[in-house]
Every structure is written in C-alpha cells, then in structure tokens.
Structure 1
Amino acid sequence: MLAKLSLCRTHVLGGRKFRCADCAEITSLYNSCGDRHCPRVAVVNSCSGGKRVDFHDKATKLILSGVTYYQVVFTLPSELSELALANRYEMADLLVDSAWKSLSRRIKAEQDYDPAAMTILHTWNQKLEAHWHVHMLVPGAGPGLSTRQWTEATAPTGSRNSDGFYLVDADPLREAYREQAIGKLRRLRSAGKLKLVGKFEYLRSNENWDAFVKNLESKKWVAYIQPPPSVTSSACQVVRYLTRYLTGGPISDRRIVAADADEVTFMARDGKRVGGEREQVPVTMSSSEFVGRWCLHIQPDQLTKTRYLGGWSNNRRGAYQDRCREQLEAVEGWRLEEPSADSSKEAFAQSPDQVCEHCGSDRIELIQDTPKPSWAEIFRREDDRCPEWYADRQRESHRRLWTASYGTDFYDWYVETQVESAEEIERERIAMVQLPLAGFTGDLGYPQSYLVDSF
C-alpha cells in the first residue's frame, strides 16, 4: 500500500507527454496509483477524483427537490474504536446496523414515514487517531406509512427547536443506539466472533467482560443530527458539501503544512465539542508516528465503506423513488428539478485535465503515451523501479522466513546458489546461440531448424 502511494504521479507509473503549441515546452502528466487511500487532493484527475464524482452522481440521483436532508453522525466510544482495529468487519457491521436500526425506528415512531439513508464509514478523527463513526445522509420526509401521503418531519408541540429543522428527538435516539450496539456486541462475544487480543485480552474473563460492558452502558453515546448548512441550502448543495467532506482518505495533502525525514506537521481541529470545533491548530509528530497513525485507517478491500439502507437499499430503491415522486406530485407547488448532466464534473473540477504547466495554455499536443506497468513488474526486487526501502523489507522478510524454516545462513546460500546457477545457464545459452549454425546438426543429430527455433 505505502509503496504504491510513494510512486503515485511519478515517471515509474508511465503517463503522457504533451508539447505546447504556444510556448513549445513539454508537459508531463504521470499516471496515478489509483488507490482509494491515496491522500492526493481529490479533484477529477486525481486518485480519488473519479470515485468522488461517482459518489456525487449516485447521491444526486437519490435526492429530490424541495426535501430537507440531514446528516446524522453516530460514533463508537473510544474503547470500541480501539477494539475495532482487530475486528474491522464485525465492528463496521455493528456500528452501521445499530445506527440504522435505532434511527429508522425513531423516524417511524415519531414521524410516521418510510425512511432511507446513505451511510459512509470513517475510522479517524482530525488527529488520525482511531475514531470509528458513520455519517448518514437522511431525507427529512418520505412516503407516509399510515396516511399514504407525503409526510415531512415536524417538531412536536412544545419543542424547544427554533431553527425550523427537526428530524427526531436526539436523546431517545442515543439511548436506542447504545442499546442496539451493546446487544450486538454481547452476541458477537457469545458467538466467539470477537478477537480479544493485546490490551483487550483481559476481556476473555467473564468478570472483566461484564465490568467492561457496564462501563459502556454508563456512557452517553454520540448521535449527532446536523441540519443543512443554511436555510437556503438546496438538496444539491447538501450533497455537494457531503461529497467533498465524506469521500477520500483520512487526510489530504492540503492539511500537511511541513514534512521531512524526522517530523510531520499538519492542521487539525481542536476541542471535544460534538460536531467539531472550527479552530484549527498545528499538530507535530515524528514521521514514523504519522505513518503509523495513517496506516490504522487502511481498510481491507472487502470492507464496504458506503451502504444504502431502507428505501435507498438496492432491492427497494426503484419502487421507493417512484412512490416518493408520486406522493410529492400531489403536494401543491412541488416541482421536480433535474440536475444538469455535467453537474458532478463542474462541482469538482478545479482546472482543465490537460494544460501546459509552463504557460497555462490548453493548446497542447500529445507526443508520447507510456502505458502504466503492472504492479507485479514494478515490485520485483530486482527491478530498478521498485522503491529501495520496499525491496529491502521484502528481502528481510524472506530472510526471516527461510531462517525460521531452514536455519541461519540458508537464505544467503540459496540466493548465491541461484544467482550462480542463473549466470551459468545464461553463459551456456549465449555460447549455443553463437555456434555456427550452417550445416550444424550436433552430436545428437538435431537439424538446424530445431536449433534456430529453440533459441
């Protein structure tokens, strides 16, 4: 993973060269690594840019004009965020399932409409510490369950809500979320599906486990409901805001203000207030600690970060959207606003894909196109393109493996023997090719055509 990222946008990955028609200078555009964890700025032509546009397109197809959309954030307590590092699949399911069940039941009970949500899993805070939470994009209205009419979320009589936005009562939501999550946590341990290792090995004891769970039950769990950025924010603006905020990795290169071989300094929000503080402060740590924290958030490919639930789930989405439009059309004054076909590219493209880096002209001509090589080719230890530190680590890893299996010095003997053997075979091959082939049949009577084909 780190080796791939270190080669992103370098000549090693190939790319294209352009000549400017205005200044005649050459501009090189190297290929990206394409990894979903790459921290490069997520514009259209970067590693995360295509995924960001794709996310925006999918979300835009779900939203409907005239509907208020909320962001709801559910967070695991710090103890469970640390436990999740050894139980990524299990804790991701626990977090998303518990959050959705508690929210959907509260919406049905308080607002009486069929809910939907898009969820995005994050595992970090601004300082790159383990901080597992899920962001949900949730419509504040939907098809009525008992009335069969379009139903909007409204604050109950006597509510202290003053800004005009209301989804559900936050306190019962937090309690329901805590109850759902702890119940699922208990079931995971009972089924033997929790890895209790390292600092959590003590939880194998039933007595310690009961005390651990009791402490979780005493905490106030976080479920934060955030309305649109402003009263005038359209649904498209909300999705654009969430797309920029939710896609990409734990930190972008924009937040890194200084870095060398010893230290890294980046900007991070300070404070513990729910929803985050506005003020940003510089955070400095050793380069090794920075890399270690960043690596905490590398997720396996099989772990799904984005999920669609309720009315937006894959098997219900079409019928749900049709029902929404049908009931909305009966609302006086409602009109469907279709987003433009190029809205995603317009929203996230910060500069043309290809311009001259010297004068900014877009009058450039492609003069060379080098395809991206396979990772298998690049990461061969003998290949000059392989990062030296990565090749060294691979050699050391192989050395430890062979030493554990066959004893000290076996690896060095094996490498030396293989190299000498390969060199001897190459010398013999060259000698055979250089033999005069005209009329040669060899001691075994092989015809000349056989020797030519063989070499």
Structure 2
Amino acid sequence: MRHRFAHHVRSVLSKILLCRTPVLKERRYRCPQCDYRSVVYNSCTDRNCPECSGARRRDWLDGTSQLVLPGVNYFQVVFTLPDKLSPLVLGNRRELYNLLFLAAWRALNHFLRRNGKFQPAALMVLHTWNQRLEHHPHIHAVAPGGGPALEGDEWMTSKHPDPSYRKPYLVNVEELGRVFQRRFMYGLRRLVRQGELKLEGEWSKLHDPAELKRWCQELQTTDWNVYVEGPQHGQSKPAHVLKYLTRYLTGGPIGDTRILRDEDGWVQFLARSKDKGRPQRVEPVELRGTEFVRRWALHILPKGFIRSRRYGGYHTTKSQAYLQRCRELLPPDTVKIEEEPKTPPAGERTEPECPHCHVPLESISKTPRPSWKQVFEIEVYRSAAIYCPLLHLLRSRPP
C-alpha cells in the first residue's frame, strides 16, 4: 500500500534522504602533516533530520538554561489529550496544537496566581508520539515552584494546603486537570462554531450544534491525563532541569539505538510495553516498512510551527526583567551562579581530525549547499522513490 503524504511532509522526507550526500555539495579537508584528504558533505539542516539534531538541541539548551536559577524548585507538568481526539487533531494540527498550548498555559497560570500568589512562568514543549510512534499529543511544561509575589516585594513559594506536607508542591493535579479540560473544550467549541476546523467525513456531524454538544459531553467523561512531577530528592539541579526536554525538540520520534533490524520490508524496534498494572519492560515491536515511515511522518509538524514556547515570566519580552526581579528577591547565596560544563558557542563548527595524526584538518575548499529549488529539479531527485521504506533516514551516515 502506498501512503500519500502531504506536500510539506514529502518535502521534509526528501531533504532528509539527501542529507550528507553529494547532491548537497561538500567541504574538502587535508591533513597538514600526512596530506590525508577528507570530504564532508553538507547537511540538510531540517529540524526533523536525525543527522542534524545535535547542534539545534545544543543551541536551544544554551538559550534556555539562563531561565533556570539555583535555589528554586522546578516542576515538570504534562498535559495529555485523550486518544479519542487524535484523528481530529491530525486533520487540524496547527489549530489544535496551538489550542493545546493555550489551554495548558491558562490552566497553569490560573492556579499559580490563585493559590501560589506569585507571578507564574513556564517553558512548554510539544511532544506528539508515544513509544510505538503512534500519535499521542501532549505538552511537557517546566515551571518554577515560586516567584515574585503578585502584591508586595517578597518571594512566594507554592505551598500545600496541609501544613504537615513536606515535599515540594506546585498545584493540585486533579483540579488542574479539570481546568485544563474546560479550557480546551471551550476553545474547541469556539473553533468549530467559527468554521476554523476541517470537519470532513464522520467529523462533519459536528456542524450540527446539537451533535456538537452531545459529542463534547461524551468527550468530557473520558480521562484527561495531567500529572505533576516534582524535583528528585526534593531539590532541583539547574544543570539537569532542561536536558530532559531536548530529546523532543529535533531529530524525529525515534533514535538509532532503538532500531534493531530492517530486513525484507519489516522494521523491528524497541518500545515499552503497554501492560498496565505491571512493571514497565522493553519489548520488540515489528512493523512493515511503509507503516513505520507513515508513523514517523505523523510527527512532522506544520511548516513554521514552533514546538517550544515560553509563557508568563519566561516570555521573550519579559524574561530579562522577570529573572532580574527573581535574583533581587531570592537570598544572595541561592542565586550564586553554578559552574556549568563549557560548550562551544552556538553555531561554532568543529573541524574534523585526521584519523592518523589526530590533528585538526585544514579546509581546502567549501562548496555551499545549493538552494532546495535547484536540488529538487535535478534528475537524481525526480527518480527518488519517496514512498519506499525510508529506513536510511534514521541511520547514521559516515562523514
């Protein structure tokens, strides 16, 4: 069976297929000692490409690590949509992913302002897959458990209603889940009424107000999974708070280490079991190559869609003033800058080394990557089988 991908998806898959191949031209190097020669082909730089993900993740981590302050507890909050909504979301990704971000932030903002009495902030990242590469949209949010008071000049920390509760606390997760559900359903009904969603086939029934009301009531009875994870051992480590999220930013939904084999049109990879009530274990999952590529392509976001967003005090226009205010209100010993492992500046290229002399190679020539318009017009690309199992788009290619 051949799967017809959207034009944007075909474009992304095509770029990944050509990443680090002669079609994208090359950079040539030589060793100044033994005259060893090396050719490095240009990369596609697409955010979905497994080969081009390292630099993007590092740049994101460098840019967001400044938001995390020592001495503050940070919480991870996950907002998940029910599986019943998945087909509708796939047909309206941009609109409903945006709504997911908005509903999650408004629910979190509501509780931190009402119960915590401090200025909220959150860094949110969209994650669209599960271990088996199925569509499973949810938001991972990182939020501080304290902040500048809404009224007065003091630092406020979110506290549990029970004074005997000693662990770090953010919000009541059950109440947060109910507010998140109401916010999302309100926005969903508004989008349907305003005709901003594509409702085709079985979804066309939602144009009827009575049917829309019945469907929404039925959907609200299903589980909306929201949970809050506090800092391990009761204290956050700024160096580790954001690293967990970087794996979701670029490079696709599965890493090379999880793929076991690709033979005779079948792909086998590792995934956590679905058995509920039992300890989680890893088991092999086998899919046809075409189904594997179809699932992989489900997680290519709409063109220009932003996967990572900042809200509240972390918003780009407010972050500097917010962080400065936090440093002023926190005790001086808690905001002492911790030494982090130094990383190369964003965008800095590390030249390859000679495998014999172990010295940096000298650049001889650099041919810039041609424009995609030029690349897509060449005969090599026209003859490429876009619908074949694209397993090599997840395999490491030699430099």
Q: 1:247 to 1:117 in 2, by over 3 A?
A: farther
Q: Letter of the aligned partner of 1:336 in structure 2?
A: K
The residue correspondences of 1:318-329 to structure 2 (distance < 5 A) are 318-328=320-330
CA distance in 1, matches of 2:211, 2:357: 65
Deviation at 1:242, TM superposition (A): 2.6
The one-letter code matched in structure 1 to 2:93 is R
1:18 is the counterpart of 2:17:
no
The equivalences for 1:81-92 within 5 A come to 81-92=86-97
Q: Percent identity?
A: 38
Structure 2 residue runs without a partner (length 5+): 1-11, 389-399
- SS of 2:220's partner is helix
Q: 2:353 pairs with 347, 352, 355, which one?
A: 355
Tell me, what secondary structure is at the counterpart of 1:93? Answer: helix
Give, in whole Å, the separation in 2 of the partners of 1:190 and 1:364: 62
Matched, 1:184 2:183: no
The equivalent residue for 2:268 is 265
Contact map agreement 1:257 1:266 (CA 8 A) in 2: yes
Q: Deviations over 1:219-276 (max 9, x none)?
A: 22111112234445511221223324554422233322212461112222223769x9
- Give the partner amino acid of 1:266: F
**Matching residue of 2:18:** 7
Q: Which amino acid in the other structure matches residue 365 of structure 1?
A: E
Q: What number of residue pairs does the alignment pair up?
A: 377
Unaligned runs of 5+ in 1: 41-46, 394-455
Query: Using the alignment, how far apart are the partners of 1:314 and 1:109 within structure 2?
Result: 24
Q: 2:304 aligns with which of 302, 305, 319?
A: 302
Deviations 1:326-361 (A, max 9, x none): 111xx2643421555x734499x9x965123x4482
Shift in alpha-carbon separation, 1:387–1:253, aligned structure 2, 3 A? farther
Instruction: Give, in angstroms, the shift of residue 193 of structure 1.
Output: 1.4
Q: Does residue 132 in structure 1 map to residue 131 in structure 2?
A: no
Query: Counterpart of 2:254?
Result: 251
- Other-structure match for 1:61: 66
Tell me which residue corresponds to 1:151.
156
Superposition RMSD in Å: 3.0
Could you tell me how far 1:14 is from its partner in structure 2?
1.5
Alignment of 1:159-198 (within 5 A): 164-198=167-201
CA offset at residue 362 of structure 1? 3.2
2:242 pairs with 1:226 = no
Q: Deviation digits for residues 374-425 of structure 1, max 9, x if unmatched?
A: 2222211xx34425235999xxxxxxxxxxxxxxxxxxxxxxxxxxxxxxxx
- The TM-score normalised by the length of structure 1 is 0.75
1:95-121 Cα deviation digits (max 9, x unpaired):
111111111111122211111011111
Could you tell me how far 1:293 is from its partner in structure 2? Answer: 1.1
C-alpha contact 1:122 1:133 (8 A) present in aligned 2: yes
Secondary structure (helix, strand or coil) at the match of 1:193 reads coil
> Does 1:38 pair with 2:36?
no
- Cα shift at 1:210: 2.5
CA contact (8 A) 1:117 1:311 kept: yes
Contact 2:47 2:53 in 1 (8 A): yes
Matched letter for residue 266 of structure 2: E
**Rounded Cα–Cα distance in structure 2 between residues aligned with 1:262 and 1:310:** 48
Distance 2:344 2:272 in 1: 29
Relative to structure 1, is the Cα distance of residues 61 and 99 closer, same or farther in structure 2, using a 3 angstrom cutoff? Answer: same
C-alpha deviation, 1:30, in angstroms: 1.5
Moved more, 127-136 or 297-306: 297-306
The residue correspondences of 1:414-425 to structure 2 (distance < 5 A) are: none
Q: Is the 8 A contact 2:69 2:335 kept in 1?
A: no
User: What is the distance in 2 between the residues matched to 1:246 and 1:202?
Assistant: 36
Taking a change above 3 Å as real, the CA distance of residues 35 and 391 of structure 1, as seen in their structure-2 partners, is closer
**Partner SS for 1:343:** coil
Q: Is the 8 A contact 1:3 1:390 kept in 2?
A: no
Partner of 1:122: 127
2:394 alignment partner in structure 1? none
The answer to which structure, 1 or 2, has the higher relative contact order (CA under 8 A, 6+ apart) is: 2
Structure-1 separation of matches of 2:37 and 2:202: 56
Deviation by residue 1:419-447 (Cα, 9 ceiling, x = unmatched): xxxxxxxxxxxxxxxxxxxxxxxxxxxxx
**In 2, distance between residues paired with 1:304 and 1:99?**
16
TM-score, length-normalised on structure 2?
A: 0.85
Which one-letter code corresponds to 2:381 in the other structure? C
Contact 2:272 2:283 in 1 (8 A): yes
Change (3 A) 1:48 1:273: farther
Q: Of 73, 78, 97, which residue of structure 1 is paired with 2:83?
A: 78
Q: Which residue of 1 aligns with 2:383?
A: 388
Q: What's the counterpart of residue 96 of structure 1?
A: 101
* Residue from 310, 314, 317 that aligns with 2:316: 314
Letter in 2 for 1:72: V
Partner amino acid, structure 1, of 2:342 = S
